[in-house]
Chains A and B, each alone.
Chain A
């Protein structure tokens, strides 16, 4: 009897010990639910971005043992870039403990999640994309279009063209055609290009390419007739290589085509072959594997056989480096939040606070091994983009080469437009515009 009671006690103690260990392990983990797309039409971009993101999380785990001892974990749900599947993955993974932030890399999925993440109080990161007015953190407390929103991108492109022409005053009487994807994403910048054309007095024509953009003969014939000085390519997917090929077909020079941030990857130029040589595109993060953080990823993560990319040649590609930078920003937001709330698993709202204080100056970026990979970021509670700088890369037929310095968009010009749009959204949705004083976390 005594023996039996002893055994029962020992068994209970063992179970309690195992449960305590498991519980402790969960308590020291920060979870990233990933709505990835590794199959389907956009798989090339998805495997690169999510591969880079996971590679960086792995680097932090292997090299540093996590963020201040808090291990980073993740789980993937395949979306094929479809909104319904993205929402389905959200519903499936949102209950997991320690959710840090959502990073869908999809405009459609991000739009569908705004109400949900706001209710659940978990940040939604839309690096380089998403709603422009979500830059206004007063109205969108949980949405972060980090580094670049579509309006900043537009301003950055116009500023780059101005720099090539010798200054903004030289834009007068120039002609720019914007060739945009026939979707809400493609159309989002139509008004801002008009405003910039009015401001700098350049002639503007905006031409739509119907989705998916695999036929552009008529658009490029119209461009040839319009004889523009520059064509801005605001494309997506197959539209990009077809634009470059058709430009060659009508004799338009590739080095006068400036691609936007979703027309700037290897996947956009390789299918176009020689027609892409000389093509220039904007980016927030340079490509290449020469940066110290990339070297560490190669040595530490791929050296340990834990690299996420099947094809190592893609290390340092545009999408992979975007994933790496996205990883840096997520991890640093957690680190900043931990400094305030403690070195433990944080709630989504606490991570949101971290993002709202994500200030990485060039010195800190260099310390993170990312000097020249990206410039800096300065997120505040009301500016969720963080004043990212842009640079321009030119395709030489085999790789991208940086051809400009870090260029600042005209934020002062854009901010009132963003605030106006955000205010309209707030009114329409009955949202109380936030001030720093009523910040739910800092109070």
Chain B
């Protein structure tokens, strides 16, 4: 007899894992949306933020103080990246910008280890992960908390984009950078702001992923989880990042549990990419991404 309760458990677990992927994907979307750059350094920024936070806490800072200091450092990092890397490369082809962020990721990872050492750290943010038993279905408290944080972050971004001047500038630049420039918007300032916002997302995601995995070098590898999410949801849609994350999380877990045995197990990592690849063939801009129309 088919075990529906287990199916629900796998599905819920997958959806909640997907929220964690979305958190990383949002950082990509913010930058891609406004500057057309696929920021491969997002994972390194996440590692840098989490490592800075946990190192400050271990040196005696309270959580709020460490959070504020790390936030300030991420703002400085974001502005510096815009000044030192992106601004000199304005009007360069996307491939050049992508490679620049790839190089940047190595620089940030190296700097993080140089600054804070190579040791792994535990990060306890006070959320116990003893599961909730709801009608026989185990649900992770931590994942529920992470989902709430991700939801709040998205809501804050939605309000920010809709009701603030900087948010409106973001949207204008995302819609048409040349028109935005023509009406007097300062693109460098917008880009610096968006890198800062991306740094904030990296900090939040870094703390949640750090609490889940421990704060260690492999945190930067979580970008690999975000890539199929971006392909599925579209590189320029925050809603797409959320829905793409949920879909990828669910597909990964369901495929591993119900199809994995047919292939000897361990399929979830590439199953997500198979789905993304198929969608790429059918709909290259993703489920929610804007269709690219170019005059030739």
Interface residues of A (CB under 8 A from B): 38-44, 47, 182, 206-212, 214-215, 217-219, 221-222, 224-225, 237-238, 241-242, 245, 248-251, 267, 270-275, 310-311, 314
CB <8 Å contact, A215 and B268: yes
Chain A, Cβ-Cβ closest to B142: A249
29 A-B contact pairs sorted by A residue (CB < 8 Å): A40-B217, A43-B118, A44-B120, A47-B118, A206-B265, A210-B267, A210-B268, A212-B221, A214-B218, A215-B252, A217-B13, A217-B14, A218-B252, A218-B260, A219-B256, A221-B9, A221-B10, A221-B13, A221-B253, A224-B138, A238-B213, A242-B212, A248-B129, A249-B140, A249-B143, A267-B119, A267-B216, A270-B122, A271-B123
Judged by a CB distance under 8 angstroms, whether B110 is at the interface is yes
Docked-complex contact B124 and A39, CB < 8 angstroms: no
Distance of A272 Cα from B122 Cα, bound (Å) = 6
Main SS of chain B's interface residues?
Answer: helix
Residue pair A271, B216 in contact (C-beta under 8 Å): yes
Q: Quick check: is B145 within 8 A (CB to CB) of the other chain?
A: no
Which residues of A are found within 8 Å of B138, using beta-carbon distances? 224, 249-251
- Asked whether B266 lies within 8 Å of A210 as measured between CB atoms, the reply is yes
| B136 smallest CB distance to A (angstroms) | 11
Contact mask B113-128 → A, CB, 8 Å, 1/0? Answer: 1000111111110000
The 7 closest A-B pairs by CB, nearest first: A271-B214, A208-B266, A43-B118, A210-B269, A218-B256, A238-B218, A208-B265
Beyond known contacts A215-B17, A271-B216: 4 more, CB 8 A cutoff: A212-B218, A214-B225, A238-B216, A245-B212
A39 touches B17 (CB 8 A): no
Tell whether, in the assembled complex, residue B129 and residue A245 are in contact, meaning their CB atoms are under 8 Å apart.
Answer: yes
Q: Is the CB of B225 within 8 A of A310?
A: no
A380–B50 CA distance with the chains assembled, in angstroms: 49
In whole angstroms, how far apart are the Cα atoms of A248 and B138 in the complex? Answer: 11
Q: Is B31 an interface residue (CB 8 A)?
A: no
Please tell me which one of the listed residues A249, A250, A273 contacts residue B124 in the complex, with CB atoms under 8 A apart: A273
- Identify the closest chain B residue to A214 (Cβ): B213
Contacts of B151 in A (CB 8 A): none
Kindly identify which residue among A38, A39, A273 contacts B122, using a CB–CB cutoff of 8 Å. Answer: A273
Specify which chain A residues have a CB less than 8 angstroms from the CB of B9 in the assembled complex: 221
| Contact, CB under 8 Å: A271 / B252 | no
Contact B217 A41 (CB under 8 A): yes
A310, B119: Cα distance in complex, Å: 11
The answer, yes or no, to whether B130 is at the interface (CB within 8 Å) is: yes
